[in-house]
Amino acid sequence: MRTAHAGNIANNAYLIAKFLRRRGEDAHAFHFRSEFIMGHPEWEDADFDAELDPFDPPDWNALRFTNGFQRPQWVHYISGLPRPYELPRDAPGGRDARVMAATFSDARPAPRGSLVGTLRAASAGLATRYGQLARQGQLRPEERAQLVVLGLLRQGVEWASFQRAERRLLLNDRLRAVLEQADEINTHSKLAAAGERIRLRDLIKTPFWPSYRPMAADYDLVQLYGLEATKGVFLPADKPLVAFEHSTMRTLPFENTVQGRLLNLAYRVADFCVITNPDVVSSAKRLGLQHYRFIPHPLDQDKYAPPGDPNTPLRREILQQTGAELIFLCPTRHEWSNAFDSKRSDRVIKAYAAYCRNSANPRAALVLSRWGRDVRATETLIEQEGLVDRVVWRHPMHKLRLLEHYRAADVVLDQFHEAVGTFGTVTAEALSCARPVIMYYNPAVHEWCLPEAPPIESALTEEDILARLEQLAGDPERRRRVGDASRAWIIKWHSWERCADDHLAMYQEVMTRRAADAAAQEGTFSR
C-alpha cells in the first residue's frame, strides 16, 4: 500500500513511515521546511555538533553530519502550493529561504526593491519577533508591549487582505487560483460532504493547505499527524484518512476556534483515529468516535538501547565537571503552568533542591535542556537555591546526543502534570535505554489499552519526586533492577514491530470497511 504521512511533529510521521518500510510498505513522510526543528528527520537520525535554534531550522545541506546521515528519498518537504506540492530538493534552505506555504504566497520572489518585496520582508521580520515573544515566559514590560503591538499589526494586515480577496477586488492570477481551490473544497471534499464550508479568512489558519488535495491523489491512504489532521477535511470524500492524535485530542477539538472546529470535524470524518495518549479516550467518546485504537508512540528499541560500558565518556565528563557521584537527567521543556500540555518542571527543580539540602544523599548533578516558556524562572530558582554548580545546562539536543545522555544518566525525570498521567517519547526512550524513570503515571487511564503497566517510578508532588530520587540514589541494585525491567517492558509492548503491525492491521480494516460500504452502496443503486 502506498501511504502518505504528513505533519512530522516529534518525527512521528518519519518514524512510522520508516517502520512501515521495514515491513515492505511504500510509505512516504512529508513535513515543512520551516517546521519546528524536532520535526525534521535530521533531528532524529543525524549526528552533528552545531547548536541550533529549534524554531529556525537550518539548511541541512550546509551542515556536516559526523555519522554520514543522508535524508531518505521517501522523505519530502511540502511546498504549500498545489503544483509542485513537493518542494524540490534543490530549493534553498535556512534563514534566507522563501517560505512558500502561507496561504497567499507563491514560489516567485518579489522584484528587488519593490514595495511588495519590502512589505514581505517587513512582515516576515515582525512575524519572527512575534513568535519569539509568544514562546517566552516571564516577559518584561517592554516585551509585553511589543507583543500587543505586533498582534494588532498582524490583525490589521489580515483584515485588509481578506477584504480584498473575499470581495474579489484587484485579483491577480495567484489569488484567483487560491479562490478556485477554496471553491473546489466547498464543493467536493469531506468538509462539503459534512455540510460545512470554509472561508478564505479561515484557510490562513491552516497553512500549507493547497498541497494536500494534489498530494492525496498520489496515495492510497493519507495519515495526518497532530494539528495537520485539520487538512484532512479538505481531501476528497473518497480518500481514506487516518488521524494521528498527538496530545491534540484533549481539549483542542472542543475550542470555538477555526482550528478547534476543523480538528473536531477531522476526527469525526476520519476512517480511523490513532490514540497515542491513553487519557484522551474520554475525548474520543465525547466526539462520538466509532473507530479508534491505541498505538504506542513510535520507538526504535534497537536504537534506544543501553550502552555496553555504563561508564561512558560523557558520564565521566559530567561527573568530573560537577564533582557528583550520580546524574539525574530531565530533558523535557520548562513549563510551569497548569495548561494541558504543561510538564510542571518546577516540581523537578524544587524536589532536586530538597534532595541537595540533605547531606546524607549522594551528590548528584542535574542535567537540563534550555528550552520552554519558563527557562528564565528555572534559572532564577536554581540561583536562589544555590544549585548553579550542580546543574548542567544543555542546548536542545538532537536525538543521538540525547541518547548519549540517557546512557550517561542514573535516573531520568519527565513530566508531572496531574491532569495527564501518561508518558511521551522521553519516558519511552529512557525506559528503552534501561534507565529508571520518575514521572506521574496514572494506571487508571491506561487500563483500556495496556495489559501490563510499565515499571515507572510514579510521582506527582515535590515530596513524591524527592522520595523517589532518594530511594533510587541510595540503592544501586534497585536502579539496575528497575532499569532491566523497563527495557524488557519496552521490548514486549512498545517495539517498532508492534507499531508497524498495528498500523497495517488498522489499514486493512479501513480498506475492508470501505470496500464493504462501496459494495452495499452499489447494491442499493442496482435495485
Is 212 part of a structural domain of the chain?
Answer: yes
Same structural domain, 130 and 85: no
Lowest model confidence (mean pLDDT) among 108-117, 149-158, 163-172, 469-478: 108-117
Same structural domain, 267 and 361: no
Query: pLDDT digit string (tens) for 286-343?
Result: 999 999 999 999 999 999 999 989 899 999 999 999 999 999 999 999 999 887 778 9
Same structural domain, 258 and 372: no
pTM of the model: 0.86
Q: For residue 293, give the 3-state DSSP assignment.
A: strand
- Which has the closest alpha carbon to 181: 88, 81, 259, 102? 81
What pLDDT does residue 122 have?
56
Same structural domain, 203 and 231: yes
| Residue 514 binned pLDDT confidence (cut-offs 50, 70, 90) | very high
Is 303 part of a structural domain of the chain?
Answer: no
What pLDDT does residue 102 have?
38
Is 93 part of a structural domain of the chain?
Answer: yes
Same structural domain, 128 and 97: no
What is the CATH classification number for the domain harbouring 6? 3.40.50
- Give how many domains the chain has, as a whole number: 3
- Whether the predicted pLDDT of 81 surpasses 80: yes
Same structural domain, 328 and 462: yes
| Residue 174 binned pLDDT confidence (cut-offs 50, 70, 90) | low
Same structural domain, 222 and 354: no
- Whether the predicted pLDDT of 381 surpasses 80: yes
Q: Which residue has the cell 554520514?
A: 68
- Whether the predicted pLDDT of 471 surpasses 90: yes
| Residue 247 binned pLDDT confidence (cut-offs 50, 70, 90) | confident
What pLDDT does residue 101 have?
37
Is 300 part of a structural domain of the chain?
Answer: no
Indicate the residue type of 41: P
Q: Mean pLDDT across the stretch 126-137?
A: 66
Is 385 part of a structural domain of the chain?
Answer: yes
Is 506 part of a structural domain of the chain?
Answer: no
The domain boundary residue, chosen from 154, 170, 186:
170
What pLDDT does residue 115 have?
45
Alpha carbons within 13 angstroms on the beta-carbon side of residue 228 total: 29
Same structural domain, 197 and 230: yes
Is 110 part of a structural domain of the chain?
Answer: no
What pLDDT does residue 98 have?
45
Q: How is the beta sheet containing 326-330 ordered, strand by strand?
A: 391-394, 364-369, 326-330, 411-413, 437-439, 457-458
Whole-Å CA distances, 497 to 9, 23, 272, 318? 21, 9, 20, 35
> How many angstroms separate the CA atoms of 221 and 509, rounded?
12
Is 519 part of a structural domain of the chain?
Answer: no
Same structural domain, 270 and 398: no
Q: Mean pLDDT across the stretch 206-229?
A: 95
Same structural domain, 187 and 161: no
- Whether the predicted pLDDT of 523 surpasses 90: no
> How many angstroms separate the CA atoms of 454 and 443, rounded?
9
Share of the chain above pLDDT 90, in %: 70
What pLDDT does residue 157 have?
63
Same structural domain, 237 and 343: no
Query: pLDDT digit string (tens) for 407-449?
Result: 999 999 999 999 889 998 999 999 999 999 999 999 999 999 9
Whole-Å CA distances, 268 to 190, 275, 404? 10, 14, 41
Domain of residue 273, residue span: 2-102+174-294
> How many angstroms separate the CA atoms of 438 and 459, rounded?
6
Share of the chain above pLDDT 70, in %: 86
- Whether the predicted pLDDT of 106 surpasses 50: no
Q: Which residue has the cell 519516558?
A: 427
Q: What is the DSSP string of 464-522?
A: HHHHHHHHHHT-HHHHHHHHHHHHHHHHHHS-HHHHHHHHHHHHHHHHHHHHHHHHHHH
What is the CATH classification number for the domain harbouring 341? 3.40.50.2000
Whole-Å CA distances, 487 to 162, 383, 430, 437? 54, 36, 9, 11
- Whether the predicted pLDDT of 105 surpasses 50: no
What pLDDT does residue 450 have?
92
Same structural domain, 345 and 448: yes
What pLDDT does residue 148 have?
77
Q: Which residue has the higher pLDDT, 468 or 101?
A: 468
